[in-house]
A = this chain, B = another copy of it.
Amino acid sequence: MTSVEELKLRVRELENELIKCKQKRCTAMCAEEPADNNHPHHRPRIDKMSAEVKIRTFTVAVVGVGGVGSVTAEMLTRCGIGKLILFDYDKVELANMNRLFFQPHQAGLSKVEAAEHTLRTINPDVQFETHNYNITTMDNFAHFMDRISHGALQDGKAVDLVLSCVDNFEARMAINTACNELSQIWMESGVSENAVSGHIQLIIPGETACFACAPPLVVAANIDEKTLKREGVCAASLPTTMGVVAGILVQNVLKYLLKFGTVSHYLGYNAMQDFFPTMAMKANPTCDDRHCRKQQDVYKKKEAERPKKVVEQAVEEEVVHEENDWGIELVSEQTDQELQAASGPVPDLPEGITVAYTIPDKETGTSEGETVEETEQSLEELMAQMRTM
């Protein structure tokens, strides 16, 4: 029989245990809960920055929240960006832990959800909009177009910049198509499969080469993957390379938005030799993308209408790139041939830059169906194993 005294004792025990549990939870949850917007020391720092730079008025879309995209979003959040729109359809896996940003306890969450949670904690003043879908499917693509053209802080306006941090050709082409149609300036980034090289590229529709103007370029790692694997570096998983690429990407975002320094048109990173080639490429007049060709016409018209003084200034700006030892410009006449040889190497590239891959066959490269979540199986296994812990 349970006596009243025994029961009262049990109630007191449980109450104490519950208090302790809640206290512990509070400590652990501090990083999990959105911080108070009136946080005394957090705000002034960010306000001080924004008062000067207006960084908080800008909206940036980050497509792909993986090894590069997550760090990119964190850097922008810590710089006090106004709004971030994140797109990704992947889930966090424990296998991602050899990259920066995500933590083991986030395994199983969608990347956009996990990222938003962490980023909100870091800077509650940033506005977040997340989309947990694959932008390459028909419906999602239409929604993606809508969000980049209407998702800015100022209602109904286009975002200030789109950042491509995806890891495949199809997604890059989707971003390229959308940005050409919307005349949306964007930056592309990439890390090679062997993880020892990467690049960033600025794409101004109609002005610089788009992703369909010429085969995508990468920095040659100058080492074959077998050698590298024998040396033992785990391929495609160096937080160092991803950190450097995200760093140079966001640095160029800041330079572009806040108008300081020289924004690189193309900057490569070869980790083996610590070699950073730069170059610039003009749009291809015979580009496959009709919106690219249309934007080229718009750009030419705008250039012709510009007062002479401004045009001169623009020429001076281009000289900045030519002064750089690695800067070369492929004139538009040459890109005709490039297009013809779209699956071959691009001529006259600076030392260390090569073609990333040949453009996939169009029959196999369409993107209308649902993309299967490849890691679904292992994730379920993983979750089951976690539950038993």
Contacts and interface: CB of A to CB of B under 8 A. Distances in A.
A262 interface: yes
Interface string A247-261: 110111011001111
Given A14-B15, A251-B240, A228 B272 contact: no
A135 to B, nearest CB: 26
A239 B79 contact: yes
Contacts of A324: 273, 275
Interface string A1-44: 01010011011001101100110110111111001100111100
B258 A251 contact: no
Given A25-B21, A95-B41, A104 B239 contact: no
B272 A274 contact: no
A293 B104 CA distance: 48
Interface string A89-106: 000011101111001111
A35 B234 CA distance: 22
A45 interface: yes
Contacts of A139: none
Contacts of A123: 97
Contacts of A93: 41
B234 A251 contact: no
B97 A42 contact: yes
B232 A241 contact: no
A238 interface: yes
Interface of A: 2, 4, 7-8, 10-11, 14-15, 17-18, 21-22, 24-25, 27-32, 35-36, 39-42, 45-46, 48-49, 52-55, 71, 74-75, 78-80, 93-95, 97-100, 103-107, 118, 121-123, 196, 223, 228-229, 231-234, 237-241, 243-244, 246-248, 250-252, 254-255, 258-262, 264, 267, 271-276, 278, 324-325, 378, 382, 385-386, 389
Q: Sort A-B residue pairs by CB-CB distance and give the 9 closest, nearest first.
A: A30-B105, A53-B232, A52-B232, A31-B105, A244-B247, A261-B272, A14-B14, A7-B7, A243-B247
15 contacts: A4-B7, A42-B97, A45-B94, A45-B97, A52-B232, A54-B232, A103-B121, A223-B261, A232-B258, A240-B248, A240-B254, A243-B247, A255-B272, A261-B272, A275-B324
